[in-house]
Amino acid sequence: MKKLYFSVFIICLQLTGVAQDSAFSRQWVDTLTSPYFFGRGYTQQGMQKAAAYIRDAFKQYGLVPLTGSSYIQEFSFDVNTFPGDMEVTINNKKLMPGIDYIVFPESTGSHTQGKLQQADSVTFVNQEEKVIVTLKDKLTWSVGREEAPYTGIEVNKKALTSNPASFKIAIDNKFVKDFKAANIAAMVRGTAQPDSFIFITAHYDHLGSMGSKTFFPGANDNASGIALLMNLAHYYAMHPQKYSMGFICFAAEEAGLVGSEYFTNHPLVPLSHIRFLINTDLAGTGSEGITVVNATEFPEEFAMMNEVNDKEKLLVKINARGKAANSDHYYFTEKGVPSFFFYTQGGITAYHDVFDIAATLPLQEQEDLFKLVRGFCNKLMNE
Ligand SMILES: [Zn+2]
């Protein structure tokens, strides 16, 4: 159903001949955040479904695999998942998953109840049942790579009227050894210097689900980045460049940059052939511009990017930042690949929570970001 709708959409784009950047991005974000992909994580085959969907789109747009005959680069790692029950009652009040509470990512499962004793101003424990409850102002979830010998619950302070004194929980976890994930790597071959590459990268995974009912859509993080990457892939497939344009959608970024680290240890093209890598993560806002990680490491390229921005009057501001290990560019930088990572600023504050949804994501700078990357790539190839 989804796929058919998508195909029809692509045909419409081809008929009009011009990619409507905003509508195109909106379509991608709506699709990737839908329940079918279940947060592009570790339950209900969410990440695998997203991988297949992206691979099919690359094929449809006319990109070829980066190497060999497959778009897929598989790898595996251990991860803690929550595929089943997810019920928490504190002080006889049933809490809403994701909104009132989250579990510690490393939590083990448990079906039990009991009383809680205060350990400090925000921590409450039941030693015998190995249950910890902590109070938080904001809930920010992540992915656990280990399984702890206890069950931890972070409760939003606003959900309770008094300190946690009693609990009842039904939580299932499943620690998965060798969870299989895949990077998706495609390219548009260069016309003059096909062995020189510009890489455009973004991670497509998100946090997945907390239980069988609650998933984290990850609209800004990072359906928005994939939307921008796909926009560029679609454009470059129709407009091949001097250099080869590589497009890598990384898996398992949220588990600790696992996919991009794997790629740099098993590169599909020699890393020395990458003239520049542009990574994007959180591309869905931009009312306050963008921030560029590694700007101070590569001042010449940063000046080039600013020239494009000034000339085409795109973003209100481009902030410079130094090195940071905060997305998939990181291991490339460490291995000597010149790279930028940019993220948008302003607008929504939802981050790693159930409120990072498509409906409230502005996506207003996708077209400007598209033009910025295109203009920057032009300069890189013609310097
Ligand atoms: Zn991200």
Tens place of pLDDT per residue across the chain (383 aa) = 444 444 444 444 444 434 457 899 999 999 999 999 999 999 999 999 999 999 999 999 999 999 999 999 999 999 999 999 999 999 999 999 999 999 999 999 999 999 999 999 999 999 999 999 999 999 999 999 999 999 999 999 999 999 999 999 999 999 999 999 999 999 999 999 999 999 999 999 999 999 999 999 999 999 999 999 999 999 999 999 999 999 999 999 999 999 999 999 999 999 999 999 999 999 999 999 999 999 999 999 999 999 999 999 999 999 999 999 999 999 999 999 999 999 999 999 999 999 999 999 999 999 999 999 999 999 999 97
Residue 92 burial (C-beta neighbours within 10 Å; 0-12, 13-18, 19+): exposed
Count: domains in the chain: 2
Total Cβ atoms within 10 A of residue 107: 25
Instruction: Among 106, 139, 171, give the residue marking a domain's end.
Output: 171
Residues 194 and 133 in one domain: no
Dist. CA 258 → ligand 1 center (Å) = 12
Q: Are residues 75 and 90 in the same domain?
A: no
For residues 196 and 110, membership in a common domain is answered with: no
Whether 184 and 127 share a structural domain:
no
What the block records as the tokens of 332 is 């490339």
Distance 253 CA to ligand 1 centre (A): 7
Residues 75 and 89 placed together within one structural domain of the fold = no
CA of 244 to the centre of ligand 1 (A): 26
Asked if residue 154 and residue 103 are part of one domain, the reply reads yes
Question: Is residue 74 domain-shared with residue 101, that is, in the same domain?
Answer: no
- Residue 282 CA to ligand 1 center (angstroms) comes to 6
Q: Which of 109, 144, 171 is the last residue of a domain?
A: 171
Distance 220 CA to ligand 1 centre (A): 8
Ligand 1 center from residue 224 Cα (angstroms): 10
Looking at residue 196, the DSSP 8-state letter turns out to be E
CA–centroid distance, 345 to ligand 1, in Å, is 14
The rounded Å distance from CA 91 to ligand 1 centre is 35
Range of the domain at 285: 2-79+177-381
Query: What pTM was computed for the model?
Result: 0.94
Whole-number pLDDT of residue 20: 54
The stretches of the chain forming alpha helices (DSSP H) are: 2-16, 21-32, 46-61, 224-238, 258-265, 299-312, 330-334, 366-381
- Asked if 165 and 272 sit in the same domain, the reply is no
Asked if 94 and 234 sit in the same domain, the reply is: no
Pair (18, 166) in one structural domain: no
Output the CA torsion sign for 237, 372, 305, 311. positive
Claim to verify: residue 225 and residue 321 sit in the same structural domain: yes
CATH number at residue 344: 3.40.630.10
Q: How far is the CA of 226 from the centre of ligand 1 (A)?
A: 10
Of 171, 194, 212, at which residue does a domain stop? 171
**Shared-domain flag, residues 240 and 305:** yes
Closest CA relative to residue 130, chosen from 173, 95, 100 = 173
Place of tokens 């060999």: 68
